[in-house]
Chain A
């Protein structure tokens, strides 16, 4: 499955900018997902444990 590394990069500068724009959207969409409650609960639990050890 090795990619042909000898071949030059096929992306022109305009294409590269458009790819980056779409990459930002890929990340942005994931960023806008609602954070599940489990992480807030996990942090609270870790905090409680840490305070219990003081």
Chain B
């Protein structure tokens, strides 16, 4: 690292991204303990490979790439070693304490938990964080078209799990699944 004060050590930026890394890790794993291990591995890899980071580029996206590559490669390894990795995983799913007011959102979260990590990944990047398809494609390391089709399939799968159909008016929705999506909207419906 340069001692020139004009060239700050990019590793000094790492603490700023801890929350985002952890939130992305929780989104992928749905399991806080697994997410923390993943963040730990990501920090160590980022630290030791900091020379591969191009200053001036998006560090969060760079860290997300390390994190998701670590997650999916571990997952592939585990799948080869363990006969029922998903069963083990499902038993320790991430759940926040349920409050009555959050009941509807918990239905949405339960549907989200049922998605594959690949679907959760694109939905969080594109749907929650507003990454462009191009940014998401570069973070994940796949073609833009793959991100588009995967995102569409992931949304369709969520609609299916929540029993939402094209043409239904969510504003007049009274069934439980619709209320789940309406959930704890901070936006007041006029």
Q: How far is the CA of A29 from the CA of B30 in the complex (A)?
A: 12
Are A5 and B44 in touch, CB under 8 angstroms?
no
User: B93: CB under 8 A from chain A?
Assistant: no
Q: How far is the CA of A46 from the CA of B41 in the complex (A)?
A: 13
Q: How large is the interface on A (under 10, 10 to 19, 20 to 34, 35 or more residues)?
A: 35 or more
- Looking at A23, A36, A39, the one whose CB has the most chain B CB atoms below 10 A away is A23
Q: How far is the CA of A43 from the CA of B39 in the complex (A)?
A: 12
Render B1-41 as a binary contact track against A, CB cut-off 8 A, 1 for contact: 10000000001001100111011101100001000100110
Residue from the list B43, B169, B171, B185 in contact with A42, Cβ < 8 A: B43
Contacts of B19 in A (CB 8 A): 31, 33, 35
Nearest 5 interchain pairs by C-beta = A30-B23, A30-B26, A23-B128, A31-B23, A27-B128
Contacts of B128 in A (CB 8 A): 20, 23-24, 26-28
Q: How far is the CA of A29 from the CA of B184 in the complex (A)?
A: 12
Are B26 and A19 in touch, CB under 8 angstroms?
no
Interface residues of A in 3-49 (CB under 8 A from B): 3, 5, 7-12, 14-16, 18-31, 33, 35-36, 38-40, 42-43, 46-47
B21 and chain A: residue at smallest CB distance: A39
Residues of B within 8 A of A (CB): 1, 11, 14-15, 18-20, 22-24, 26-27, 32, 36, 39-40, 43-44, 47, 96, 105, 108-109, 112, 123-124, 127-129, 152-153, 155-160, 164-171, 181-185, 187
Closest Cβ of chain B to A53, distance in Å, is 11
Q: Is the interface of A mostly helix, strand, loop or mixed?
A: helix
Contacts of A11 in B (CB 8 A): 155-156, 158-159, 164, 166
Q: Knowing A19-B159, A21-B187, A24-B128, say if A39 contacts B167 (CB, 8 Å).
A: no
Known contacts A15-B181, A38-B40; 12 further A-B pairs (Cβ under 8 A): A10-B159, A11-B156, A11-B159, A14-B171, A18-B185, A21-B187, A23-B124, A23-B128, A27-B124, A33-B26, A42-B40, A50-B1
